[in-house]
Amino acid sequence: MECAHLAIAVKVSQPTGLKSSRRSRNLPSTVSEGFKENSNSFRKLKCQVKGCEESSSLWCCCLCGEIYCGRYAKAHMKSHYEENEDHSVCLDISTYAVYCYKCDEYVVNDSDAGSIQSLRNFFQQLDPNYHLLDIENDKNHSRKRSGNFGRSQNYKKRKPIHPKTVGLRNLGNTCFMNAVLQSLNNIPEFSKYIQKLPSLDKMQVKKPTPKTHTASTSEESKFKSVGLNTRSNPEDVDSVLLVEEFRKTLVELRRSKTALSPASLFAVIWKVVPNFRGYQQQDAHEFMRYLLDRLHQELLTLLPAGSFTLPRNSLTGVKNSVVTAIFGGVLQSEVHCLECGMNSVKHDPFLDLSLDIPVVKPKPTSTHDGDTIPQVIPCTIADCLRSFTDTEELADSERYTCGSCKKRQRSTKKFWIKKLPNVLCLHLKRFRWSSFIRTKIETYVEFPTTDLDMSAYQLNNVRRTRDNTGSTEYDLAAVVVHHGSGAGSGHYTSYAIHDNVWYHFNDSTVSVCPEETVTKSKAYILFYVRRELKL
């Protein structure tokens, strides 16, 4: 939104305590001392409150230039505003987003003097990752000016970012979207397929005939059972194509050398999914489900169908798109009547599995002094999968109506995976309702980066389910992580592997990270790619 407070709240074009960079985008042939000095200063930046060591989630006050930590750290920037009401506008030094506390909104306009853009430019020049991407952009021009910089040993050591791994700008609490987009973009088979689609701007959409509509309704009802929402107004399909903006965004991510703004895609999401209107924090998993559902439905209705649709799923009868061909699997649920022994079997499609995090009570252990201390028992992704597939007795309120007994009886239920997907998406249920409050489960869940074997959870002893399924082993491709305490607050980032290198995607900032950092994260969504993936 446009902020009316900029005339009073925006004065500075650089923060206090840092010199203006001597380098512009026209880089000299050697790394200047000024650039080294300021880049080192950028890395050492921390909240200016005495005793606060926060170095992430830093914001710069646009009136006085002082730097404080944000609300998802120790909220010293908010305290600074509360003590000085004119100091209401601040800039995130990592994402360059601007926020006004008086408006309680992100800001899109600038002051008459252009001070906000000057402040952005200042931090962009200091940020070594951002700057090195500019170096990559301008390397041909640099060679023309002088010969040494392109061969500089110093430059080679400091070049951390692969050209294809660029960030997405935060438009105002849109980290939930950015984390999911970066994860999906780093699943090569899916990303490449979407990018190769023809331009769909003027593509006509099929008008469903009564027969087609009936079939579509049947398909939609099957997906509702696994949480795929179909509440979008059909008229939206005729006026807005989410898949086209999604395609453009993935293409731009591949081409761009610097952080990209997903504003056009977000605007379309606002139109087709009213739940995501506004700039409040949203749930990344919920967004992913809406996104994949919408892409699936649009791809099924686009003309021409020929090259861009796939055969129906033989187990469920549902039409396949690239979404279901890559993420789609089939669950078999077995309900067993404890009175007569009758089994009821049902097949349901899924695009992801939502797994409970088992509550593990710590075991007391003795010390030499006779005291007892709790022993921390690690939870693994295998524990979550076992909990999902273990046989459980249904509660009285969920009693099954037995087809043989003709009445509701005590029964047990068990899930098997009948068909494994090409990309296995595992959602860890970290949020739960307790006394009308949605709380977060902070339990660390250990997960492998390679060799996740799903054979133990697949329906066994049925040859036809194993003939064409391929490998049951999966390797990790991406992870979405939620930082913070509540679903409606906090911050989302993601990790993804590209050319055997792990990257951390934090909105517009992309950095190389060790695998150990990934495995120590408290994962929210895990994307595993099957070995020998075939569409």
The amino acid at residue 190 is F
pLDDT tens string 284-310: 999 999 999 999 999 888 745 444 445
67 pLDDT tier (thresholds 50, 70, 90): very high
How many CB atoms lie under 10 A from the CB of residue 460?
11
Residue predicted with more confidence, 311 or 122 = 122
Phi then psi for residue 105, to 5 deg, are: -150, 160
Q: Among this protein's residues, is 175 annotated catalytic?
A: yes
> Above 70 in pLDDT, residue 1?
no
Which two tokens mark 419? 């068909």
pLDDT tens string 246-287: 999 999 998 888 888 898 898 889 888 887 877 777 899 999
Predicted local confidence at residue 493, as pLDDT: 94
Partner residues linked to 372 by β-bridges: 366
Distance, CA of 67 to CA of 37 (rounded, Å): 18
Distance, CA of 326 to CA of 229 (rounded, Å): 19
130 pLDDT tier (thresholds 50, 70, 90): very low
Classify strands 372-375 and 363-366 as parallel, antiparallel or unpaired: antiparallel
Q: Among this protein's residues, is 483 annotated catalytic?
A: no
Predicted local confidence at residue 489, as pLDDT: 73
CA dihedral 71, 444, 285, 243 (to 10 degrees): 100
Query: Which DSSP helix (H) or strand (E) runs through 61?
Result: strand 58-61
Domains of the chain: 6-158 (3.30.40.10), 175-308 (3.90.70.10)
> Above 50 in pLDDT, residue 27?
no
User: For tokens 């939104």, what's the residue?
Assistant: 1
Distance, CA of 215 to CA of 318 (rounded, Å): 9
Per the CB < 8 A criterion, the answer to whether 171 and 279 are in contact is: yes
- Catalytic pick among 3, 175, 379, 425: 175
Most confident of 95-109, 297-311, 480-494: 480-494
148 pLDDT tier (thresholds 50, 70, 90): very low
Helix, strand, or coil here: 218? helix
Phi then psi for residue 195, to 5 deg, are: -65, -30
* Pure H helices in 10-53: 33-44
* Residue 386 CB contacts under 8 Å (≥ 6 apart), including other chains: none
End-to-end Cα separation, the chain, in angstroms: 44
Whole-prediction pTM value? 0.65
Distance, CA of 344 to CA of 476 (rounded, Å): 34
Per the CB < 8 A criterion, the answer to whether 471 and 530 are in contact is: yes
104 pLDDT tier (thresholds 50, 70, 90): confident
Distance, CA of 353 to CA of 526 (rounded, Å): 10
Q: What is the mean pLDDT of the chain?
A: 76
Predicted local confidence at residue 359, as pLDDT: 75
Predicted local confidence at residue 366, as pLDDT: 52
* Residue 517 CB contacts under 8 Å (≥ 6 apart), including other chains: 495, 502, 504
Helix, strand, or coil here: 384? helix
Residue predicted with more confidence, 154 or 478 = 478
Among 309, 292, 298, 276, which residue's Cα sits nearest to residue 229?
292
Per the CB < 8 A criterion, the answer to whether 469 and 479 are in contact is: no
pLDDT tens string 376-404: 567 999 999 999 988 888 888 878 788 88
- Catalytic pick among 285, 336, 482, 491: 491
Per the CB < 8 A criterion, the answer to whether 491 and 394 are in contact is: no
Among 227, 267, 228, 276, which residue's Cα sits nearest to residue 244?
267
Peptide bond into 304 cis (omega under 30): yes
> Above 90 in pLDDT, residue 140?
no
Predicted local confidence at residue 367, as pLDDT: 52
